[in-house]
Amino acid sequence: MAFTVLIDGYNLAAELWGMGRGARELGRQRDDLLGLLAAYGRTRSHALHVVFDGWREGLPDGNRTREQGIDVTFSPKGVTADEVIRDLVREGGGPYLVVTSDARVRRWAQDGGAEVVDSGAFARRLLAPAAPSAGEGAEPGLDDADDEGRPWSGNTAKKGNPRKRSKRQRALDRRLGKL
């Protein structure tokens, strides 16, 4: 199923490198982020759309371009990127998977029917090397690890399947599996 990954740009950049100081550093972070996303996009079939804040110094009508195969939107002056993301999800235009760590944007996206992935989880996905296929250097015993990646201790004091990942982690895995 084709979907669009809608990314809160500065939120993801802050997760990757911390928030830049000054327009020059922010510009470099934007360029670096677009480079990472372009490399990611070449291996995936879904569309990428990044929204950056332009509400303080942006153009009155905002700015939308296409760079390196990625739709890039700067919010109009007086409008935040969060609000642009909310409006895009409300308008529809196809299924969205929203990448943000902002609780308000998460709520808006879920209310609009979009799935949400935390910026930190998506950042780790962007920076991770390509996963080996089964049998090709796959890490042994990965299924025997708990939610934090520690090997199963053998303790059976708790009820339930100790090898089963938590419900929250399984839901996150399903969303990340779409990426």
List the pLDDT tens digit at each of the 179 positions of the chain: 578 999 999 899 988 888 766 656 778 888 999 999 999 888 888 899 999 987 666 555 677 888 888 999 999 888 889 999 999 998 877 789 999 999 999 999 988 888 899 999 999 888 887 554 444 444 433 445 555 666 656 555 666 777 788 887 788 778 777 77
Beta-strand pair 63-67/115-117: unpaired
Longest dimension (CA), the chain: 62
Residues in the chain: 179
CB atoms within 10 A of CB 37: 23
Structure-block tokens of residue 178: 């779409």
Note whether 178 and 172 are within 8 A (CB).
no
Note whether 109 and 118 are within 8 A (CB).
no
Question: If DSSP codes are grouped into helix, strand and coil, which group holds residue 36?
Answer: helix
Q: How far apart are the C-alpha atoms of 110 and 22, rounded to whole Å? A: 33
Task: Calculate the alpha carbon distances from 151 to 4, 61, 128, 143, 148 in Å.
Answer: 36, 53, 21, 9, 9
This prediction has a pTM of 0.70
**Angle (CA) 177 40 53, round 5°:** 100
Among 113, 115, 99, smallest CA distance to 33 is for 99
Task: Calculate the alpha carbon distances from 5 to 41, 51, 72, 81, 124 in Å.
Answer: 10, 11, 12, 15, 15
159: CB partners within 8 A, 6+ apart: none
Structure-block tokens of residue 42: 């070449």
- The domain 4-129 having CATH identifier 3.40.50: the answer here is yes
